[in-house]
Amino acid sequence: MTRIIMIRHGETEWNQLGIYQGQLNSNLTENGRNQAIAIAQRLQNHKFDCLYSSDLGRAQETAQPISKVCNLSLQLEKGLRERNYGIFEGLEKNRVADVHSEAYISHKTNDPHYVIPNGESMFQFQKRVWKCVETLAKKHEGKSIIIVTHGGTIAAIIYKILSMDLSTKRPFSTLNTSYNEIYQSENRWKLKILGDTSHLFYAGYDDIV
């Protein structure tokens, strides 16, 4: 059985400010660094075979404590990046409608084939992420894999394995350093754990989106 444990990065400065990050980077806050330590402590007494991270800085920074306590080398994978939000990136979410009104209106229709200017559509994003998942699963068949990635990336994977319509509003949360687990059995992917942040509660840290 192949297992993939998906961890969202810790809280960033732009998370706090409500800024579209996409494929730009923002450093972890002090709270985010504490969250990274907490998820590492949760994972340290379990056996995993390999550790991958999105190559964006916030994911790498979150993965480093996991690499240390689990004694796993950190491998970077561009396919695990967040969705490319194109012209929205670096802007406060409450300003995008004013700065790029036409694009924002089209984006909010939730059309999975709408391509944000200079960015990706949801369909393109999910296709890119799922190709990466399949590649890693084939390379490490029967193993337990940790990937440190982004909220949108985790959601795209869950939508895929649950055959959810990409045009529907996300009915679940993927909070910072949330623990999510999928597994492959008899050539079918299944969801085991979604959005677990109990490690933050026990460590006394906030699970801020």
Q: Which residues are catalytic?
A: 9, 82
Q: In degrees rounded to 5, what are phi and psi of residue 168?
A: -85, 145
Token readout for 99 is: 């700065």
Beta bridge partners of 184: 2, 189
CB-based burial label for 112 (10 Å; 0-12, 13-18, 19+) = middle
Q: Are 87 and 119 in contact (CB under 8 A)?
A: yes
The closest alpha carbon to 119, from 106, 132, 136, 133, belongs to 106
